[in-house]
Amino acid sequence: MDHDAIKARATDYIAKETDHAFRVEVLSLLQAGDWKELEDRFYRDLEFGTGGLRGVIGGGYNRMNLLVVSRATQGMADYLKKAFPGKALSACLAYDSRRCSAEFAEAAALVFAANGVKAYLFSSLRPTPELSFAIRLLGADTGVVVTASHNPPKYNGYKAYWNDGAQVIAPHDEGIIAMVGAVSEVRTMGRAEALAAGLLVMIDRQVDEAYVAMVKSKLLRPGLIKELGGKVKIVYTPLHGTGALHFERVMRELGLAVSTVPEQREPDGSFPTVSFPNPEEPAALKLAIELGVKEGADVVMATDPDADRLGIAVPDGAGGFSLVTGNQLGALHLDYLLLTMKELGRLPAKPACIKSIVTTDLQSRVAAKYGATMFECLTGFKWIAALMRRFESDGKGYTFVYGTEESYGHLVEDEVRDKDGISAAALTAEAALYWRSKGKSLLERLDELYLEHGLYEERGVSKYFEGPTGMDTMRGIMEGYRRAQPASFGGIRVARIRDVKAGAAWEPGREAAAEKVDLPPSDVLQWYLEDGTMVTVRPSGTEPKIKYYVLCRTEASGGLAEARAASAAKASAIVAEIRKAVGA
Which residues does the annotation mark as catalytic?
149
Sign of CA dihedral 437, 442, 446, 451: negative
How far, in Å, CA of 253 to CA of 563, rounded?
A: 42
Write the CB contacts of 438 (distance below 8 Å, at least 6 apart in sequence): none
- Strands of 373-377's sheet in order across: 373-377, 351-356, 399-405, 409-411
Nearest C-alpha neighbor of 315 from the set 300, 335, 330: 300
- At 10, the amino acid letter reads A
In 246-296 the beta strands, taken as DSSP E runs, fall at 257-260
DSSP-assigned states of every residue in 179-226? HHHH--------HHHHHHTTSEEEE-HHHHHHHHHHHHHT-S-HHHHH
Write the CB contacts of 266 (distance below 8 Å, at least 6 apart in sequence): 240
Say if CB 460 and CB 547 are below 8 A apart.
yes
Give the pairing type, strands 90-95 and 118-122: parallel
DSSP-assigned states of every residue in 454-512? -EEEEEEEEEE--STTHHHHHHHHHHHHHHS--SEETTEEEEEEEETTTTEEE-TT-GG
Region label for 165, one of left (φ > 0), alpha (ψ between -120 and 50) or beta (otherwise): left
| Residues paired with residue 505 on neighbouring β-strands, in sequence order | 498, 515
How far, in Å, CA of 142 to CA of 285, rounded?
A: 34
Sign of CA dihedral 373, 376, 379, 385: negative
Backbone torsions φ then ψ of 296, nearest 5 degrees: 65, 45
How far, in Å, CA of 252 to CA of 247, rounded?
A: 8
Q: Which DSSP category does 276 fall into?
A: S
Element (DSSP H or E) covering residue 453: helix 442-453
Element (DSSP H or E) covering residue 547: strand 545-554
Q: How many other C-beta atoms lie within 10 A of the C-beta of residue 213?
A: 11
How far, in Å, CA of 371 to CA of 49, rounded?
A: 38
Write the CB contacts of 439 (distance below 8 Å, at least 6 apart in sequence): none
Nearest C-alpha neighbor of 364 from the set 325, 385, 390, 338: 338
